[in-house]
Amino acid sequence: MTALQGTIPEQAVPAGAASADQPMRIDLLRIAEWIEPGSRVLDLGCGDGRLLDYLQRIRQVRGAGVELDDEHVIAAVRRGVRVIQQNLEEGLALFDDRQFDTVVLSQTLQSMHHTEHILREMARVARYGIVSFPNFGYWPHGWSILRGRMPVNDQMPYQWYDTPNIHLCTLRDFQDLAARLKLRVTHLATFRGDQEIHWLRGWRSQLAVYRFESPWSRSA
């Protein structure tokens, strides 16, 4: 497996790096389970770098993140994570084809303006993609709409007028899009709070996490 190519800048870890003892969300732990030890990982919208920090320590990955928010970038660097500050809407043109083994987009897909484009780009730069998003098919959402209100809960805590979520979807919606883009779904996990949901997932889960295989990897 080759080293990460030169498009990713090295960043020194400053003194007083963030503690590694903070608990991980259950969905991030599941994402980590799906990533091979020692592999190359790109985390899009990496936030404060908690997932990449965990992957570097526990699974010895070679990773990098993309993040726009200044405070999150600083927090990620303090954890020892390499970060490129960039808006994801501008695409992944700075990364080469097949540069990574896995690319992660956690709880960000629903806020992207160009959903198909980012999924195609994920499939271009990595063999596997992992995405997570709130499940709009969760049954209380339908009840809220019947009462004349947009759903608001811990997975979608915004009001209709200030929400960043512009492309909400159900599990079946995402699966249909993945099939159209020739992304083969290999794993699915769904959650409601800290509980994993195993049956009637489309109705009973608040959050979906998918792992897919890129089209080129099946012909490589």
CB 68 within 8 A of CB 31: no
Token pair belonging to 214: 């890129």
| CB atoms near residue 158 (< 10 Å) | 11
- Indicate the domain borders of the chain: 26-215
Distances (CA, A) of 53 to 64, 72, 117, 146, 201: 10, 13, 27, 43, 30
CB 11 within 8 A of CB 48: no
Superfamily (CATH H level) for 26-215? Vaccinia Virus protein VP39 (3.40.50.150)
Token pair belonging to 119: 């999924």
Chain centroid to Cα 214, Å, comes to: 16
Distances (CA, A) of 64 to 12, 100, 118, 159, 189: 13, 10, 17, 33, 24
CB 79 within 8 A of CB 49: yes
* Residue 61 one-letter amino acid: V
> pLDDT value at position 219?
66
> pLDDT value at position 58?
94
> pLDDT value at position 8?
37
Mark out the alpha helices in 59-197 (DSSP H runs). Answer: 70-78, 115-125, 139-146, 171-180
Low-confidence spans in the chain with pLDDT less than 50: 1-20
How does strand 184-192 pair with strand 195-197? antiparallel
Token pair belonging to 18: 């963030």
Alpha carbons 70 and 48: distance in angstroms, whole number: 10
* Residue 174 one-letter amino acid: F
> pLDDT value at position 108?
86
